[in-house]
Structure 1
Amino acid sequence: MRANPVLLVGTLDTKGHELAFVRDLLRRQGLATLIIDVGSSGAPVVPADIDREEVFQRAGTSLALVRERGDRGLAVATAAQGVARLVTELASKMSIAGIFGLGGSAGTEIATSAMRQLPFGVPKVMVSTLASGQTRPYVRGSDITMVFPVADIAGLNRLSRTALTNAALGLAGMVRLPREPENIDASRPVVAATMFGVTTPCVDRARHVLEEGSVEVIVFHATGVGGQAMEGLVRDGQIAGVLDLTTTEIADELVGGVLSAGPDRLEAAGRHRVPQVVSLGALDMVNFGPMATVPSQFAGRKFHAHNPSVTLMRTTSAENERIGLYMAEVLSRAQGPVVLLIPRRGLSALDAPGQPFHDPDADDALFSTLTRELAVHPQIRVESRDEHINDSSFATAAARAMAEQLSLRKGL
């Protein structure tokens, strides 16, 4: 197996010549390459370093069985699963210099599934005909660079050669160019924090307190993909503590908003024994696009137009009880230390006296559910504070709780 290769992922029956073009470009730049064939229909037009049979075996099946089913969607999903497992295995055995993919909808789904298995910082370039549209299903919380080829990737012509050359040389530059030395104090623990516009005063204050204590704080915008990115870095082992003050993405996941971070939100820290200080920031709201896009089942609810493109909907007591049950269940499984801070005076800038989402009864449904459900889990410290989430005293308390957890962990 070649040392430090760039992985090239593509369907060698339909995109073989194009992938070979990229391979040759990278080799001329002095980079080792490893072509992985993820096709399933026609015969490969260029040889692979890892053939498609091996990819499908990693998914627990075979190329023959997939062909027998005759279901293209199933073939794509199986190839994506297989190549993701294959790349994970390769990364455990060697240093991967980078990964490059090209294709349409199927090729993008398959190649980005592999890319998302590699940690932050490994160069990832995907040339995709979908790159000018909605890329979140493919990028999610990873650092994939998407390149739009303008024309379809169907043969080598003046447009495709230019797009592929630019993308390949861009990847080569990421791999080969020396990195500027960073002035990083490796002894400083890294804390991930979650923030929304309506919880900014809280998170900014907590960040400043921790930074004064020689903690490096990385803030993630809780817009769905932000939560996914944070959870991914926790899984990669790059985060020492999680200051999860803005858990609003859970409301979108459970109620049906557009900024969900998926069903695994709040899971990573607990699974990986990472200390976490959790609060309830912006759980008073669910996010939608323009008012005209709000689903009809929410007619008659309390809304606030954040701007022409963003409509916020106030959560109800019933929804907050459901959110509380979900959070309590997830936090009770955590294998690391957990502190839950409850801001009894309000959950966001909109949830305060005189503001449109001020609803103490709805908030109390969340508070009482969490308090009741977590009372049987003494390993979780629940602290109810008579403060608004954006009060400076609440933010300072959150920062100090995080610092305490980091100090305790050092002593383990």
Structure 2
Amino acid sequence: MGRNAKTGKTAYVAGTFDTKARELLYLKDCLEHQGIPVTTVDLSTSGGTAASAADIGALSVATYHPMAAAAVFTGERGSAVAAMAEAFTYFIRARDDVGGIIAAGGSGATALATPAMRALPVGTPKVMVSTIASGDVRPHVGSSDIAMIYPVTDIAGLNRISRRVLANAAGALAGMMRAEPIAGEAEKPAIGLTMFGVTTACVQQVTKLLEADYDCVVFHATGSGGQSFETLAASGFFSGVIDVTTTEIADEIAGGVLSAGPSRLDAFARHDIPYVGSTGALDMANFWGMDTVPAGLRQRLLHVHNANVTLMRTSVMENERIGRFIAEKLNRMKGEVRFLLPMKGVSALDQTGKPFFDEAADRALFTTIEENFAASPGHRLVKLPHHINDPDFAKALVEAFREIAEKESLPA
């Protein structure tokens, strides 16, 4: 156990030392071979009193649980893993020497380690070697920057494959801990933007108009993207946001696979953050390949975006629900709000001659938002005779943001 003399930071190697000590100590050796100080942490839930090969034993970690170590060592695997994951999260937050973290194992080890990884700041190196990394890892990665590595073989001993994969993982963490961003221009205030493929033209135009004054940070509105966008906004990372693409709400309402959850937009109700938003890509809900579309939705208007993504046009009824969802959230926002409606279409597929052009569905969306929106001097709804990807609409978004920036004394 040690710290880098220059940075005071160490790499944490975490896992269940009662079953994976050999593999975890191999990770430790690989990191130390590259000159990285290491602290090992045991997350075993089998008892907490046995001797451990780790620098910090499971009992020490378990004491960080709000209900003490007894809440962890229950003898029931499910509750024990959940409690140890919570204890480890409190433990890692209390450390001031985390330069990076790596863990390895199966579904249990992944559930133990990734909540603590998610609790660390964006930019802190995080590597999870997991046997479930080739499947749906969204519940584990969430809105954080965890690097997931599939080990090919099980984490069950060292062999010619596991040695190479684990060494690569250790090398990845070591490289991340050494890496420094290349110096850019003088620091500018950051703003967050949301984008989808079908609103790319709009966001690119907005970015071009603002990049001289702002560091424009763009998020892909794929569920986790919206969550990351709001997490950083809530942490004070942004001076304001231009939430062009609220499409994740359509997935939440219509049952698509790219929802950011029912809490989308809530960060702006909890925090005073200048907000400019729009209805980007609310004409669609997302599914994977055509065979993944639920049987009850196969008769809907579907568009094959590519072999792995199928889009479903939102209906009049769904757009009414989406409109009420948005208006209710806008009404609760604490800061200045400008919400712009592109009356000629909300995506590249929603315009004359394109597959999702549906005036009735768009009208339901716009009318419902307008009828439920509580206008005030600080909260304004603006209807514009443009398509969302028209240059004039991008200019209007920028003008709205600069107006707020001026009122909030942000750089204009």
User: Do these two structures clear the TM 0.5 threshold for a shared fold by scoring above it?
Assistant: yes
1:78 to 74, 79, 83: 83
- What letter is aligned with 1:154? A
Distance 1:398 1:411, change over 3 A: closer
State how 1:36-51 maps to structure 2 within 5 Å. 36-41=41-46, 46-51=52-57
Aligned to 1:17: 22
Deviations 1:214-249 (A, max 9, x none): 222122221223222322332443322211101101
Q: Work out the CA distance in 1 between the residues paired with 2:182 and 2:201.
A: 32
User: Does the CA-based 8 Å contact 2:351-2:357 persist in structure 1?
Assistant: yes
SS at match of 1:306: strand
Distance 1:216 1:313, change over 3 A: same
Q: Work out the CA distance in 1 between the residues paired with 2:408 and 2:162.
A: 53
Aligned to 2:114: 112
Q: Percent identity?
A: 47
The answer as to 2:168 corresponding to 1:184 is: no
User: Does the CA-based 8 Å contact 1:40-1:63 persist in structure 2?
Assistant: no
User: Does the CA-based 8 Å contact 1:52-1:63 persist in structure 2?
Assistant: no
| Moved >6 Å (runs of 4+) | none
Runs (5+) with no aligned partner, structure 1 = none
State how 1:146-295 maps to structure 2 within 5 Å. 146-177=148-179, 179=180, 181-186=182-187, 188-211=188-211, 213-295=212-294
Distance 1:372 1:66, change over 3 A: same
Aligned to 1:26: 31
Q: Work out the CA distance in 1 between the residues paired with 2:157 and 2:53.
A: 17
User: Does the CA-based 8 Å contact 1:17-1:45 persist in structure 2?
Assistant: no
Q: Work out the CA distance in 1 between the residues paired with 2:25 and 2:406.
A: 52
State how 1:294-309 maps to structure 2 within 5 Å. 294-309=293-308
- What letter is aligned with 1:12? F
Q: Work out the CA distance in 2 between the residues paired with 1:300 and 1:315.
A: 13
What displacement does 1:119 show? Answer: 1.7
What displacement does 1:258 show? Answer: 1.0
What displacement does 1:391 show? Answer: 1.6
Aligned residues: 405
Runs (5+) with no aligned partner, structure 2 = none
SS at match of 2:324: helix
Q: What is the alpha-carbon root mean square deviation over aligned residues?
A: 2.4
- What letter is aligned with 1:124? K
SS at match of 1:13: helix
User: Does the CA-based 8 Å contact 2:343-2:387 persist in structure 1?
Assistant: yes
User: Does the CA-based 8 Å contact 1:53-1:62 persist in structure 2?
Assistant: no
Q: Work out the CA distance in 2 between the residues paired with 1:200 and 1:180.
A: 26
1:52 to 55, 58, 72: 58
What displacement does 1:131 show? Answer: 2.2
Deviations 1:99-137 (A, max 9, x none): 111111111122111111112221111111122333332
What displacement does 1:398 show? Answer: 0.3
- What letter is aligned with 1:290? G
Distance 1:254 1:80, change over 3 A: farther
State how 1:92-131 maps to structure 2 within 5 Å. 94-131=96-133
Distance 1:221 1:7, change over 3 A: same
Distance 1:393 1:65, change over 3 A: closer
The answer as to 2:87 corresponding to 1:87 is: no
Aligned to 1:35: 40
Deviations 1:372-404 (A, max 9, x none): 222265532211212221221111100121223
